[in-house]
Chain A
């Protein structure tokens, strides 16, 4: 069966520090991968998605970036965090088939101080 991992689970970082969040998927190949952010009490905001290694599409301009160095690995990064980057970051994957459902990881709660 397929599983999705995210780490760390929680993170407290000072403003201006770098960020690296990692997501990996097991049990599938060629997944579509997604990064979402959720502010407290709000819905999900799509940040990036990837349909293959090295292929990244950005939905929202910001100081975050994403990379996909391997088929089942998706990384969210920042060179300098802002206070507004605080939130709940979720990684998700879907299969390639039309109509495939999306499955989410456990999330990383980031607090920028």
Chain B
């Protein structure tokens, strides 16, 4: 029973915005949504998290739907270094549950 659903892979042109969707229909009302990314052979890197309101930091923006069943991570100007696997996750019980994520390829 997958807790999050993400596209397996996506391509994005360098300099364009990358929009990565995630469905998390089983999330409870007080759980945050978190996004991480993993570049090959490295540990996952925290990107951003949010509860209800949209969030923005120096790396990305996070848009959460009003019903909180889905969210979108936005990389406003993707670079080649943004090529990675992107995971959305949330606390389930006492722990994060990570799905297989979305492999984003930024193309020159």
A residues within 8 Å of B by Cβ? Answer: 34, 36, 42-44, 46, 49, 51, 57, 59, 88, 90, 92, 99, 101-107, 109
Contact = CB atoms under 8 A, between A and B. Distances in A.
Given A44-B98, A46-B95, A99 B32 contact: yes
A42 B96 contact: no
Interface of B: 32, 34, 36, 41-46, 49, 51, 87, 94-101
Given A43-B100, A99-B32, A101-B34, A59 B95 contact: yes
Contacts of A109: 41
Contact of B44 (A42, A59, A90, A99): A90
Contacts of A59: 95
Given A44-B98, A102-B96, A107 B49 contact: no
23 contacts: A34-B95, A36-B98, A43-B98, A43-B99, A43-B101, A44-B44, A44-B87, A44-B98, A46-B97, A51-B94, A88-B41, A92-B43, A99-B51, A101-B49, A102-B36, A102-B96, A104-B43, A104-B44, A104-B46, A106-B43, A107-B41, A107-B43, A109-B41
B4 to A, nearest CB: 10
B35 to A, nearest CB: 10
Nearest to A90: B43
